[in-house]
């Protein structure tokens, strides 16, 4: 299969970035879109990202599409799917980019769309939302989960995988139920924890807001994702409530156990907990970090192209900066930059950030 015409319902951070990525790899393609905000589609049209503004999710123009991406919150995606099902031909792939797959897969099945719907979840993004923050390289080196419905032709799945790879992502085909259980643990629960931590500090802080003033380092790292879209996370939590509840039970038990051991002054049990978590966390990648040693690192949002990493490394070397570790972040859902650079000391990390900013790189210091 070869896609030439794309449709979008929604052009936020993910939808806008995906449309920009498609225009970058396939300048001659045709893209049409509908959004609730006329300003968004007008801006996308002005930017040359889309070629046609649709008036609603049931716009007859969508019948010309080879694939349509639903890029709104989960509940709205299901409504859009219902409006599209009788408009688009059977050859058109209907997909979404949502973080929860079960509800929309069940809805697609009830609508008789088995064989036509393929769920999708690009594991990327940031706490920022909206078309204004979209970038064409957002998907590079991030996992793109693909969850086909029953009866989808292998040819369509292969074409979707090729498309995900073409925009720089790492395609991974999963059953939608397995996807939702895994993301409940590694994506959805962390957002709930982050929100609870922020609200805890808010509730306990004094009138001088001392806690807010000194909050830094680990607290900011853990809670940055609490700045994500409330509407989006409302839909995600309600939609994936059963899986989140299951993994939350385990988390709450472990948290309660740690409180019990702490109050009993059982230092060895606390030590064992931190050691076990450290060892498992460090097994995630060669650039993982323990809980004791201070780490100096920056994230650099570069375009993943031949020679890009070498250019960064050479630039720092010329300026006398030694790099301890450098690598690609393969799951960008919780990190701003695709390139992670670690240093031995704080001063060279800060110097490196300034130098890279002077070379027009987007840099975050952590």
- In a structure prediction context, what are the per-residue pLDDT tens digits for the chain, which is 366 residues long? 689 999 999 999 999 999 999 999 999 999 999 999 999 999 999 999 999 999 999 999 999 999 999 999 888 999 999 999 999 999 999 999 999 999 999 999 999 999 999 999 999 876 677 999 899 988 988 899 999 999 999 999 999 999 999 999 999 999 999 999 999 999 899 999 999 999 999 999 999 999 988 886 667 777 877 877 788 888 889 989 999 999 999 999 999 999 999 999 999 999 999 999 988 888 875 433 332 335 678 888 877 667 888 888 899 999 999 888 887 775 555 455 578 898 877 888 899 999 999 988 888 876
* pLDDT score, position 304: 64
Rounded CA separation 128/151 (Å): 36
* pLDDT score, position 297: 83
**pTM of the entire structure?**
0.75
CA-based Rg of the chain, rounded to a whole angstrom?
22
Rounded CA separation 362/168 (Å): 19
* pLDDT score, position 227: 79
Longest dimension (CA), the chain: 68
* pLDDT score, position 292: 32
Buried b (16+ CB within 10 A) or exposed e, 165-186: ebbbbbbeebebeebbbebbbe
* pLDDT score, position 291: 28
3-state secondary structure of 218: helix
* pLDDT score, position 337: 56
| 5 contact partners, CB below 8 Å, separation of at least 6 | 29, 30, 31, 32, 64, 65, 66
The angle at the Cα of 236, spanning 232 to 238, to the nearest 5 degrees, equals: 120
């Amino acid at each position: 299969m070869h896609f030439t015409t794309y449709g979008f319902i929604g052009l936020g951070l993910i939808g806008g970035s995906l449309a920009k990525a498609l225009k970058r790899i396939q300048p001659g393609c045709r893209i049409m879109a509908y959004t609730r905000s006329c300003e968004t589609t007008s801006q996308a049209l002005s930017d040359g990202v889309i070629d046609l503004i649709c008036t609603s999710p049931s716009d007859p123009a969508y019948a010309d599409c080879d694939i349509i991406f639903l890029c709104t919150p989960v509940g709205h995606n299901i409504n859009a799917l219902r409006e599209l099902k009788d408009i688009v031909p059977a050859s058109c792939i209907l997909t979404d980019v949502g973080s929860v797959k079960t509800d929309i897969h069940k809805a697609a099945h009830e609508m008789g769309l088995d064989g036509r719907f393929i769920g999708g979840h690009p594991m990327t993004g940031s706490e920022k939302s909206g078309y204004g923050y979209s970038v064409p390289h957002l998907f590079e080196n991030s996992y793109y989960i693909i969850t086909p419905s029953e009866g989808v032709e292998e040819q369509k799945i292969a074409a979707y995988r090729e498309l995900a790879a073409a925009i720089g992502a790492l395609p991974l085909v999963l059953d939608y139920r397995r996807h939702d259980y895994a993301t409940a643990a590694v994506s959805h629960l962390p957002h709930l924890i982050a929100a609870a931590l922020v609200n805890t500090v808010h509730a306990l802080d004094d009138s001088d807001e001392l806690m807010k003033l000194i909050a830094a380092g680990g607290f900011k790292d853990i809670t940055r994702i609490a700045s994500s879209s409330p509407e989006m996370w409302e839909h995600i939590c309600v939609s994936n409530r059963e899986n989140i509840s299951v993994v939350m039970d385990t988390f709450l038990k472990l948290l309660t156990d740690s409180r019990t051991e702490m109050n009993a002054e059982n230092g060895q049990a606390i030590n064992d907990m931190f050691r076990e978590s450290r060892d498992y966390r460090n097994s995630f990648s060669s650039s993982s970090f323990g809980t004791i040693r201070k780490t100096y690192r920056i994230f650099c949002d570069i375009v993943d192209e031949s020679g890009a990493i070498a250019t960064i490394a050479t630039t720092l070397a010329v300026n006398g900066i030694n790099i301890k570790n450098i690598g690609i972040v393969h799951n960008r859902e919780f990190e701003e930059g695709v390139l992670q650079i670690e240093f031995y000391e704080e001063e060279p990390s800060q110097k490196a950030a300034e130098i890279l900013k002077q070379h027009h790189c987007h840099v975050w210091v952590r």
